[in-house]
Amino acid sequence: MKNFEEEILNLNKKDMTKTELFLGILSILVISVLVGWFWVSQQKNDPILEEKAGTLVEEKKNYFDDVSLEAKSAYVLDAKENNVLFNLNGQSQLPLASVTKLMTTLVASEMVPEGTIITINQEDISVEGDSGLRVGEKWTLSNVLDFTLMSSSNDGAHALASVIGFVKLKEDGKTEDDMFIDEMNRRAQELGLTQTFFLSESGLDLSEGMSGSYGSARDMAILMKNIIETNPQLLKATKYSNLEIESKDFVHSVENTNQYAEAIPGIIGSKTGFTDLAGGNLVIAFDIGIGHPIIISVLGSSKDGRFEDVQKLVEASIKKFSNN
């Protein structure tokens, strides 16, 4: 009988231990839920976290969504990250007009040293447009490059094509112009400009239905990227609205065809283009931060609309990076 009573007592002790354990666990769970609820409610009222949450929402916003452009094609490239920020028909092949001169000056600068002397001849002057060059005037290559890009000089572009005579013998049936344009097209292929080809060194329309060059907004962004990475000095004059550029014989007061260049923060360089077939074109590069270039390429806008289009894309780019 005694053994039976002891067994009952031990069983009750075991049951009490299980009950106490269950109640203890239940209490811990209830306390955890209450603490969690209190913490979450406090975070909702925390102004610092609310500010961070707002920032996270802003980071997801695409500031290019609201941009409305006149241009047929536009392309915005983060040259540092090699990331496309905006693409509107970026691979459409369109007339380039004087944006062509980015390639003209790049090829000329790669063929001969910057101190090479270029003499302006009558054939140069006969090209459409008068930028103030004079027959017999002598220029260093570096200065005529600056003059040509800044004033978009067709005379200067024609004179630059003559540098091929310094490094290549004349080919049968080809002029120096023809040979130089071949080099421009070869360089385009090397750079992977798949929609680009050149028929002239200036980009002038050859007829009512034929442009002097064709390319895409994407290709021109890639070309500009190559220039700022390999030969940024080529663009230095295009940062300014006005400059005095000297030949060996005269001092020329030169106005930039992009009169808005200095209004773009961190401007690295720019090149305009305009013909009847092309409409208004503009390619720029600017720093969004130290050593962080952004390239904007606009094709097929209007004479005034190209500047407005680029400004909208500059503003969208700045908003994107200032809200990161």
What is the phi/psi pair of residue 234, to 5°? -60, -30
**Most confidently modeled range among 3-17, 165-179, 209-223:** 209-223
At residue 173 the predicted structure's pLDDT band, cuts being 50, 70 and 90, is confident
| Backbone conformation region of residue 298, classed left if phi is above 0, alpha if psi is from -120 to 50, else beta | beta
Report whether 282 contacts 258 (CB < 8 A).
yes
Q: Which of 125-134, 186-195, 298-307 shows the lowest per-residue confidence on average (mean pLDDT)? A: 125-134
Q: What is 60-85 written as a DSSP string?
A: H--TTTT---SSSEEEEEETTTTEEE
Q: What's the rounded Cα separation, in Å, for the pair 184 and 181?
A: 5
DSSP 123-161: HHHTSSS--S--TT-EEEHHHHHHHHHHHT-HHHHHHHH
Q: Is the four-CA dihedral 193, 110, 82, 218 of positive or negative sign?
A: negative
Superfamily of domain 67-322: DD-peptidase/beta-lactamase superfamily (3.40.710.10)
Global confidence as pTM: 0.81
pLDDT tens digits along 147-161: 999 999 999 999 999
Instruction: Give the tens place of pLDDT for each residue, 64-84.
Output: 999 999 999 999 999 999 999
Residue 262 main-chain phi, psi, to 5 deg = -70, -15
For 288, the token pair is 């969004």
Query: Token digits for 102?
Result: 């980015």
Is pLDDT at 188 greater than 60 in this prediction? yes
Write phi, then psi, for 115 (nearest 5 degrees).
Answer: -85, 0
Do residues 275 and 205 lie in contact, with contact meaning Cβ atoms separated by under 8 Å? yes
Mean pLDDT of the chain: 87
Rounded distance between C-alpha atoms, residue 189 and residue 6, angstroms: 99
pLDDT of 93 strictly over 70: yes
Q: How far apart are CA 126 and CA 204, in angstroms?
A: 13
Binned at pLDDT 50, 70 and 90, residue 207 comes out as: very high
Measured between alpha carbons, how far is 168 from 176 in angstroms, rounded to an integer?
9
Q: Are the C-beta atoms of residues 233 and 106 closer than 8 Å to each other?
A: no
Note the pLDDT of residue 113: 94
Nearest 5°: the CA angle 135, 185, 280 is 70
The pLDDT assigned to 298 comes to 98
**Domain map (residue ranges) of the chain:** 67-322
pLDDT at residue number 155: 97
**CA 79 – CA 89 distance, rounded (Å):** 19
**One-letter identity of residue 177:** D
Which one-letter DSSP state was computed for residue 248? S
- The pLDDT confidence band at residue 125, using thresholds 50, 70 and 90, is very high
**pLDDT at residue 17 is higher than 60:** no
Tokens of 83: 């990331």
Quick check: helix, strand or coil at residue 120? coil
Task: Yes or no: say if 259 and 244 are a contact pair by the CB < 8 Å rule.
Answer: no
SS3 call for 189 = helix
Asked whether the predicted pLDDT for residue 174 surpasses 80, the reply is: yes
